[in-house]
Amino acid sequence: MKLSIVIPAYNEARTIHLILNKVKAVKLIHDIEKELIIVNDCSTDNTEESILHYQQANPELSISYYKHEINKGKGAAIHTGIQQATGDLVIIQDADLEYDPEEFNTLLKPFVNGVADVVYGSRFMGGKPHRILFYWHSIGNQFLTRLSNMFTNLNLTDMETCYKMTKREIIQSINLVENRFGFEPEITAKLARIKGIRIYEVGISYYGRTYEEGKKIGWKDGFRAIYCILKYGLFGAR
C-alpha cells in the first residue's frame, strides 16, 4: 500500500524543509510507502529553491515537484497534487507546521482495518495537544462545521481540518472546482453525496500559527466557506 502526501506550498521557504523532515521521519504502519507531491503555487520567496535543494539532498525519498506559473490558490494547488497522486490513499499536508505527520498513522488505522473510505482528522476531539490561539477562529470553525453538517447530514466535529485522508480512486473521481479556501466545504459536500461512503473521524493535535508566524486564512475566507457550504450542500452544485 502507498500513501500520496499532497503538500501545497505558497511562500513557505522558512518552514518547508522542516515539514519535509517530519514527513521523512515518520514510519508508517504496515510498511506503507510514502509518495510526496509538492505543488508550489507561484511563491514569491525562495520556496522553489528550498524544495529543489531538499529534493536533491534526499534522493531516497519519492518527491514529485510541480509549480504553478501564476498564483491560483491553495485549492488549485491541491487539485494539481490530487491529479498527480498514484498511491492507494491520499492526504493533504499543509507546508506550515500546524499539523503533525506523526499522526498519519492515526488516520491510516481505519483504512488498514478495512472500515473506512475517508478519514477526517479532528482538532476538536480526543486528548491531543492543541495550541490555544484565536477564540473567534474556533467559534467560526464550529459554526462552519455545524452549517456544513446541516446540509450533508454528517456529524463531523471539524469540517475545516487540513487532514482528510481518502482512497485515491474516490477523490480523483470528484470534480473539484474551488481554487482557494473553499476546498474544504466543497470536498465535504461532494464526499457526503456518494452512496454508501464510510467516513470516519479521529482526534489529532494542532499547532496553530499566528499571523506573525505566517497564517494566511482570514475573515473573507470564512464568508467564502459559507457561500460554498450553501452552493454545494444546500443547492447541490456539481
Domain extents for the chain? Answer: 2-234
Output helix, strand, coil percentages for the chain, rounded to the nearest 5. 40, 15, 45
Instruction: Return the C-alpha cell found at 170.
Output: 474516490
pLDDT of res. 140? 84
Q: What is the mean pLDDT of each run of 10 residues along the chain (238 residues)?
A: 97 94 97 98 97 97 97 96 98 93 97 98 82 72 95 96 97 95 95 97 83 57 90 86
pLDDT of res. 217? 62
pLDDT of res. 236? 81
pLDDT of res. 137? 75
User: Can you tell me the distance from the alpha carbon of 34 to that of 148, in angstroms, rounded to the nearest whole number?
Assistant: 31
Beta bridge partners of 67: 40
**Which fold, 2-234?**
Spore Coat Polysaccharide Biosynthesis Protein SpsA; Chain A (3.90.550)
The closest alpha carbon to 90, from 81, 100, 99, belongs to 81
pTM of the predicted model as reported, rounded to 2 decimal places: 0.92
